Amino acid sequence: MTHLLTLTDGPLRVQLAPEIGGSIARCDWVTDAGITPWLRPASEPSIEVNQIGEMACFPMVPFCGRTKDGRFTTQEGDLIQLPAIEGHAHALHGIGWLRPWEVLSPTSSAARLVLEMSKGEWPYPFIARQWISLQDQQLHIHLSVQNLSDHTLPFGAGLHPYFPRDTKTRLTTQANGHWAVTPEILAVTPVEDPALLKQLAEGCSPDSVVLDHTFFGWEQKVLIDQPSTHLTLTASHCATHLAIYTPKNEDYFCLEPCSQVPGFPNLTQFSQNETGGHWLSPGETLSVSMALSSIN
């Protein structure tokens, strides 16, 4: 049976599922008036069967999104082949979301999670750390990844929260553009799309547009208006990109702060301002952070 670790800070209650990809199972605002989910809650059956895609939030590391055919070439000219994921034609979200994480130093309001991958478990070794804490009735997640190999290699990091959604949900943010994608959701080229950017800046219903796109030049803040709560998502400066996922006919949407466009090692013809992404030297670390707070 999966063990959940509960953190609290006043009315804010978060349940972690470290064994399920270092994920968050629930994030709720709990008062005498009832429970208001900040993130889409995982169901008991999905927790029992370790269904990562049904969790409230999971880490993406050592990269975010899809890498075409699961391969890329290093700066030294070596071809790296990433492990295949059953049911997916391309590498997806790295490996952190598919491995159990170790819990270190938990308190009533914070916990440190660690995942170390050796070269035998992944094509190149790394260590990832999450610091999940509740402070001033806000949820804070800090995710880092360190290159443990002897070579300079591409790394990315991001967070994949799911939010509840109904016809009155609105999200508001500003960005400079997004990446056009193929039918397989592979990023191909940056575009501006003024009409879509205007729609997001003025407040957009997830029901009004189907998105599975990564935005660049965003303001690192999103306002999320729900019938029962109003939230602000903020991200650190290294989270240079924001993936927005609004699937059709679903009761959730995703806002994913991340350090890169999917597949950035294969998009070297574009500028880093457009692609993001980091080529880490041996021992170097990349970090991204996200905070979620109520503005009621």
CA-nearest of 96, 165, 107 to 130 is 96
Q: 52: helix, coil or strand?
A: helix
User: In the prediction, which pLDDT does 252 show?
Assistant: 97
Domain ranges of the chain: 5-294
Whether 158 has a pLDDT exceeding 90, the answer reads yes
pLDDT in tens, 5-47: 999 999 999 999 999 999 999 999 999 999 999 999 999 999 9
- pTM for this predicted structure: 0.96
Whether 152 has a pLDDT exceeding 90, the answer reads yes
User: In the prediction, which pLDDT does 85 show?
Assistant: 86
What is the DSSP-derived secondary structure letter of residue 43? P
Pair 243, 178: CB distance under 8 Å: no
Name the pLDDT band for 1 (thresholds 50, 70, 90): low
CB atoms within 10 A of CB 210: 12
Whether 129 has a pLDDT exceeding 70, the answer reads yes
Whether 296 has a pLDDT exceeding 80, the answer reads no
pLDDT in tens, 187-218: 999 999 999 999 999 999 999 999 999 999 99
CA-nearest of 133, 93, 89, 91 to 111 is 133
pLDDT in tens, 64-110: 999 999 999 998 899 999 988 888 889 999 999 999 999 998 999 99
CA distances from 183 to 53, 188, 243, 272 (A): 21, 11, 16, 24
Out of 2.70.98.10, 1.10.540.10, 2.10.109.10, 3.30.230.10, the CATH code matching 5-294 is 2.70.98.10
CA distances from 240 to 60, 96, 223, 250 (A): 15, 20, 17, 27
pLDDT in tens, 220-276: 999 999 999 999 999 999 999 999 999 999 999 999 999 999 999 999 999 888 899
